[in-house]
Amino acid sequence: MNQLFQAIKAAVLWKYERGSWQYDVLCCLIIAFIFLVPSSWLDERPAARRQAASRIGNIGHPEFIPMAELGALPPAPTLQAALEKAGEARLRRPARIRHFEPVSDSSGRQIAGYNVWLE
């Protein structure tokens, strides 16, 4: 039992020399953790955003479009149309918006841009 605790202590404190089989096993475990753990286990978004995303469905990661980028585009009749134009400029292909959310600046008083989920 003491030998098991010594092995765990050595692994936690990373006492193995580089090139040893123990070192290689620890590296493989870290790589396996990175690639095999589902991203939903590590979801750190606030609960309200997780609930909103689950209502919308799994729509991937948003693109942040700052207000300065929207201002540089030609005027559009609606905000959604302007965001679609910005998305098309970024993706260099036709884009459709599934969902967008305003993002406030650090003071919380002004909109800094929009998180946009594009198709």
18 pLDDT more than 60 = yes
Q: Write down the pTM of the prediction.
A: 0.49
Burial class (CB in 10 A: 0-12, 13-18, 19+), 67: middle
What confidence score (pLDDT) does residue 49 get? Answer: 64
What confidence score (pLDDT) does residue 76 get? Answer: 87
Task: Quick: pLDDT tens for 66-90.
Answer: 988 888 888 889 988 999 999 888 8
SS3 call for 41: helix
96 pLDDT more than 80 = yes
Instruction: Check: CB of residue 84 under 8 Å from CB of residue 98.
Output: no
